Amino acid sequence: MFVIHHITKESSKRFNLDEGYRPRKEYIKGSTRILDYVQQAVLVNLPKKYKDLVQEEKSKTKILNIKERTGKFDRTRFLAEFWTINKKGDKNTKNITDLQEATWNELKFACATDTTEKGETLAAGYIIKKYIEYSFYMDEMNKNRTKGFKTEKLSINSFITNKKYKEDYSPEKDSRSYYLYGNDISLSANINELFIVEIVKNRDGSDIEDDSIIRYRANLDFNIFIPIIQK
């Protein structure tokens, strides 16, 4: 027996924007005993119905939509695909006269002399991908911090010279990015297709754990749901 139930209006209040308007157990309408009666409780979310959430996620989409060109990674491609992401310096680059030129040289040197954390050949595209992951990670970390407690984001130059491309920037498990996209931040480009299912109680004897999140690309007009497989 499937029972369609409601959640309270509290779940769609603006203070839940930071969580991606994630439904919670406490938002289930009515008595708290409802969760005791059922074998499974599944909460669903359609992010695109929250315009402010979609608007905030557009900054990620803008970066992710930078088209990678084919052929040799030259200075033109560096400017179009990497430098445009962040042209600013940081406290480590104040004494650099031409930051753009210095960063281009650091990128060439890293690709010629270093490897990935797995020992694979280091390519410019890989460093770009890691910087985007780092940038989103820092934005998430600083989101709710007051100005004096925000951590300065590294410039592209400092990111390369300090070999920060060897580190992991997967979203924290309790972050909005992880709830929405899991480990694949590129899904932010498809936020209008996302349909999120979260199992908050499971007592049917299957191997699905509580707090499992399943994400779909959905077309509700035709009832099409395509599961998104995480890497």
158-186 average pLDDT score = 92
- 């139930």: which residue's tokens? 5
pLDDT confidence of residue 154: 97
51-72 average pLDDT score = 82
100-123 average pLDDT score = 95
Q: Which two tokens stand for residue 153?
A: 């984001």
pLDDT in tens, 184-219: 888 888 999 999 999 988 776 565 554 589 999 999
Categorize the per-residue pLDDT at 151 as very low, low, confident or very high, splitting at 50, 70 and 90.
Answer: very high
Spans of all domains in the chain:
9-54+187-227, 60-166
Cα distances (angstroms) measured from residue 51 to each of 60, 101, 175, 183: 15, 40, 19, 23
88-108 average pLDDT score = 97
pLDDT confidence of residue 206: 60
Long-range CB pairs of 201-208, under 8 A, 24+ apart, other chains included? 201/25, 201/35, 201/38, 201/39, 201/40, 201/41, 202/39, 202/40, 203/39, 203/40, 204/39, 204/40
Asked whether the predicted pLDDT for residue 1 surpasses 90, the reply is no
39-56 average pLDDT score = 93
Q: Taking the chain, what is the end-to-end CA distance rounded to the nearest angstrom?
A: 33
pTM of the model: 0.80
Distance CA 230, CA 4 (A): 28
